[in-house]
Amino acid sequence: MNKRHVLLAATLVLLLTPNLAYAQDANVFTGYQAIAIAAGFGMAIAAAVCGYAQSKAIAAALEGIARNPSAAGAIRGAMIFGLVLIESLAIYALLVAILLIFMFAGNLDLIAAAV
Amino acid sequence: MEHEVSAIYNWLYPWFDHTFGTGFITDQAVMAWFLVLLSLVIFPVFSRRFSLYEPGAAQQMLEFGVGSINTMCDAFIGEHARKYAKVLGPMAFFIVTANLLAFFPGFQPPTADLNTTAALGLTAFLIYNFVGIRAQGFTYVKQFTGDIPAMMPLMLPIEILSHLSRPTSLAIRLFGNIFAEHTIAGVFFILIPIGLPVVFGPLGVFVSFMQTFVFIMLSMIYIAGALEHGH
């Protein structure tokens, strides 16, 4: 029973926990928990991986500039281009999160009521 | 969450709904027309004062923009690049001004709507395909099949899918950046009205210019890719 088994068991327990449905009407939307978790984790994972990838791109560009300072203009242009392309993938995830929140659960009166 | 509209549309939408039907003319269409009118006013008025030996501030800014687009075209497309710069230059002006309209009170950025960015992405797609067909004729289609004719059933769907993903990604990238930035700035302004929303000003301007830069550079790369197979 090594660490991998423990990790696999913990993941399965978390994912297979049933969503307890209490006795309610048929047409009431009850998925607020799932949407909050999905939007939060989706954007967080996308932001984390995007940050790691952009750090690698910037590190490579800085090393290139350090080795060859006269090519700094071209290297900087290519670096900005690559950074924007990587960031656009995180923006796709952000679009999905915003879509989930504002189409199903976006109710600013809730914020006003909670305050 | 209700969608905020510009001042002009707020003033005119009863007449629009009465004349054309409800929802036929949208806020982003009105803002895009405003941008066209703005450029019809700006360019003739400013070009009358252009002088060769004493350039003013506006002339220098426009020359910087034109010069940078020409330089990028020469770098990516190579020979005969200036005729493509004549198409991409106005598109770059449209995109950058459309993005920057977000920071003027009473206006909404037309690129915060998927319809405008889909039109821009479709325009770029049609431009590079027509350029490729005009330059090479029917052999332009042969680049979808690859080098070995026996692999065509495998290569053709993959190539078509990757070509169809180009205008889609152009449209969604521009829409996502501008809409998300605008919406998040609005939400933060509701939650914390003093102090924090100042941060979104320079960030938004930077994002506007970067997204224009990436859109135009990707269009140039697609044009160069359409031209290179053959000669």
Judge: B172–A95 Cβ closer than 8 Å, yes or no.
Answer: yes
Query: Does some domain include residue B135?
Result: yes
The residues of chain A scoring below 70 in pLDDT are 1, 16-26, 105-115
CA atoms of B164 and B157, how far apart (whole Å): 10
- 3-class SS of residue B48: coil
- Reported as a single tens digit per residue, the pLDDT across B73-131 is 988 888 888 889 999 999 999 999 999 999 998 899 999 989 999 999 999 999 999 98
- Reported as a single tens digit per residue, the pLDDT across B195-211 is 888 889 999 999 999 99
Tokens representing B177 are 């950046």
Structural domain boundaries enclosing B187: 69-228
Which residue is associated with the tokens 């309209």? B101
- Reported as a single tens digit per residue, the pLDDT across B146-161 is 677 777 788 888 888 9
Whether the CB of B190 is below 8 Å from some CB of chain A: the reply is yes
CA atoms of B96 and B181, how far apart (whole Å): 15
Query: Does some domain include residue B111?
Result: yes
In chain A, where the domains are located: 31-114
Q: For chain B, what is the domain count?
A: 1
In this predicted complex, what is the ipTM?
A: 0.78
Are B188 and B132 in contact by the 8 Å Cβ rule? The answer is no
In CATH terms, A31-114 corresponds, of 3.90.470.10, 3.40.50.1100, 1.20.20.10, 3.40.1080.10, to 1.20.20.10
Are B135 and B228 in contact by the 8 Å Cβ rule? The answer is no
pTM for this one?
A: 0.84
CA atoms of B207 and B187, how far apart (whole Å): 18
Q: Which of A81, A92, A94 sits opposite B217 (nearest CB)?
A: A81
Q: Which of A80, A85, A91 sits opposite B180 (nearest CB)?
A: A91
* A95: closest chain B residue by CA: B176
Judge: A88–B213 Cβ closer than 8 Å, yes or no.
Answer: no
Name chain A contacts of B183, Cβ cutoff 8 Å.
98
